[in-house]
Structure 1
């Protein structure tokens, strides 16, 4: 038995934003608009609100949202009395909008409703209508039921979560991602990868999320380099689709230790969540494979092998080829290692303890002890974002070979690179 939840309505495709703006009218005429500091990609939406003479209050955020920010903005939002919240931007903007839609009609402290550091009380009142419009291919937040918020006083990232927080409408227009810089694109794509990978190998998958994850990994692996580094439009569309599938997957399956550790580290490092999870992923994958071998868990090992087969397009790929693929992508995309954010100055035991309290880590394919989590962090620190396998690939020149379509990121497959 399983359930599957996602946004009530999804509109996907090139030009989707311009062609579907009229859906806003069905929710009323008063809009709380949430964007990033740069509003250029939101201009069609802002112009529409003005043309329709709709009331709107604009909230522009920078960086990842925190609980204090949500509380203060919700106070002014209640005075404005919006009919809907519309968020257009990256994952942080959408999380902020989602949190505001939930908190504005619910009285009390945000800590009443968040997990881990709060009381985790269910929302008393249903959120006001929420429309999500991503401008990056990353978190898949447009189809998830939680908002990730930083708790400054606890130095961790936590979730405000409810099935009622799923967007009423998700408008996914890949053209909004065109021209995004390679760093933002790369960390977003690797965030989507970590969602798809962890949901696929998690301890509670189901047949539908398996289908979603396999297709997402297939699309992403074929498009990641051409989309992020060459701004290839077809690849951008595939990345947007893969990111959306990743959001669906983590809403209906579980996550794992990469996200559990990232939630603990996220409040302690001035590093984007996507970079933290991406840099942790290969070490968590390696440790999970070791733990599965120790426990004789052939089912977990088979899932890691399937991930490797999809990523490399080789039926005879071994499970650790997926780790090679991740490290190659991190190198090619130029994502910074965690040492550059001061990871080695943190207390690994404290981080491991915090990670064990997280919701995400409960989905890991098999339990990891505090000692194993500490070992993962030590490896991240000692290897400075590189691993032995990655070094082997670097000695093979890390040549980027793209097939005739210009989209495939790896050819020949990793298994053939010695």
Structure 2
């Protein structure tokens, strides 16, 4: 027996955004708009809201969302009383929008509802309608039921999670990913890969997620280089599709040790989640294969062999060829190593202990001890005494209320920037 859930409505294709904005009207008149720091990405949405004389408030976030940021913007949102939340941007923007849609109608603080470091209380009130518009092919957040947030006081990343948090509408327009710089593209593609890979080999797969993962991995493996390095339109479309499938897969199956370790490391390093999971992936795969071999788990080994065949396109591929494929992608794509973020200065024992508390690691195909998790981290580190204390790729997490739109009864509001 299994169940499957995803966004209520998915609109996918070239030009989907321009053709589908009228769906906003069915949810009401006032919009809390969440975007990233590149305001050009949201221009089409803003133009539509202005043309429709809709009331809106625009929040731009920088970096990955944290719990404090969500609480601060939720206070503003409750005063504004939006009919819907529209998020257009990368995975962090979508997670921020999704969290706001859930938190605004619920009382208490965010720690009441988050996992691991919070009380993990179910949402009492139904979230505000949420419309997700990804501008990167990465997290698949447009079709997931959780928002990943950084907890500054606990130095860990946790999830705010509920089936009610699935987007009411996901508009996936690959054109929005055109022209994305190579590093952002590479981070997104490898993020999608780790979602598909871990959901495929996890301890609780099901026939539907297997189909989704296999198709997603085929699309991604054939498009990753042309999409990320050459900005090829068809490859960009395939990557957007693969990322969406990755979100569906991890929502309905499980993940594994790469995500478990990443949630623990993510609160301690100024490193994007996607880079952490990507650099961990081959070492986690190697350790899972080793553990499965020792335990005589042919079912797990067969999964890794099938994975390798899909990634390489060779029917005779060995399970270790999948690891070679991942390492080859990490070499070809412009992704920094984790030791450039100071990973070697962290306590691996503390990270491993935190990882074992995570929800993600419970889906690993075979249990790994704290010692084996520390061994994975040591392999990733390969510290030669030249580790830096942290290269920050993104600006510090921040949210700005940058503009309030047309309000019918009060006219044009002044910008609070």
**Cα distance between partner residues in 2 of 1:175 and 1:35:** 17
**Cα distance between partner residues in 2 of 1:31 and 1:151:** 27
Provide the TM-score with structure 1 as the length reference: 0.91
Alignment check: 8 A CA contact 2:145 2:163 kept: yes
1:393 aligns with none
1:44 aligns with 44
The 5-angstrom pairing of residues 69-148 of structure 1 reads 69-148=69-148
- SS of equivalent residue, structure 1 residue 157: strand
2:247 aligns with 247
1:164 aligns with 164
- TM superposition outliers: structure 1 runs of 4+ over 6 Å: none
- SS of equivalent residue, structure 1 residue 320: helix
Structure 2 stretches of 5 or more lacking a match? 385-417
1:321 aligns with 321
The yes-or-no answer on 1:238 pairing with 2:255 is: no
**Cα distance between partner residues in 1 of 2:127 and 2:332:** 41
**Cα distance between partner residues in 1 of 2:41 and 2:268:** 31
TM-aligned CA deviation for residue 198 of structure 1: 0.1
The 5-angstrom pairing of residues 399-414 of structure 1 reads none
TM-aligned CA deviation for residue 322 of structure 1: 0.6
Alignment check: 8 A CA contact 2:339 2:383 kept: no
- SS of equivalent residue, structure 2 residue 382: helix
2:344 aligns with 344
Per-residue displacement from partner, 1:92-138 (whole Å, max 9, x unpaired)? 00000000000000010100000000000000000000000000000
**Cα distance between partner residues in 2 of 1:339 and 1:212:** 34
Per-residue displacement from partner, 1:5-27 (whole Å, max 9, x unpaired)? 00000000000000000000000
1:407 aligns with none
- SS of equivalent residue, structure 2 residue 133: strand
- SS of equivalent residue, structure 1 residue 322: helix
**Cα distance between partner residues in 2 of 1:33 and 1:334:** 32
The 5-angstrom pairing of residues 193-212 of structure 1 reads 193-212=193-212
1:54 aligns with 54
Alignment check: 8 A CA contact 2:178 2:233 kept: yes
- SS of equivalent residue, structure 1 residue 336: coil
2:11 aligns with 11
The yes-or-no answer on 1:176 pairing with 2:183 is: no
Alignment check: 8 A CA contact 2:344 2:383 kept: no
**Cα distance between partner residues in 2 of 1:131 and 1:228:** 26
Per-residue displacement from partner, 1:136-169 (whole Å, max 9, x unpaired)? 0000000000000000000000000000000000
CA RMSD of aligned residues (A): 0.6
Per-residue displacement from partner, 1:276-300 (whole Å, max 9, x unpaired)? 0000000000000000001100000
**Cα distance between partner residues in 1 of 2:199 and 2:364:** 9
1:217 aligns with 217
1:392 aligns with none
- SS of equivalent residue, structure 1 residue 160: strand
TM-aligned CA deviation for residue 42 of structure 1: 1.2
- SS of equivalent residue, structure 2 residue 142: helix
Per-residue displacement from partner, 1:380-417 (whole Å, max 9, x unpaired)? 11278xxxxxxxxxxxxxxxxxxxxxxxxxxxxxxxxx
**Cα distance between partner residues in 1 of 2:26 and 2:382:** 55
Provide the TM-score with structure 2 as the length reference: 0.92
Per-residue displacement from partner, 1:206-228 (whole Å, max 9, x unpaired)? 00000000000000000000000
**Cα distance between partner residues in 2 of 1:40 and 1:123:** 34
**Cα distance between partner residues in 1 of 2:109 and 2:84:** 21
**Cα distance between partner residues in 1 of 2:217 and 2:287:** 21
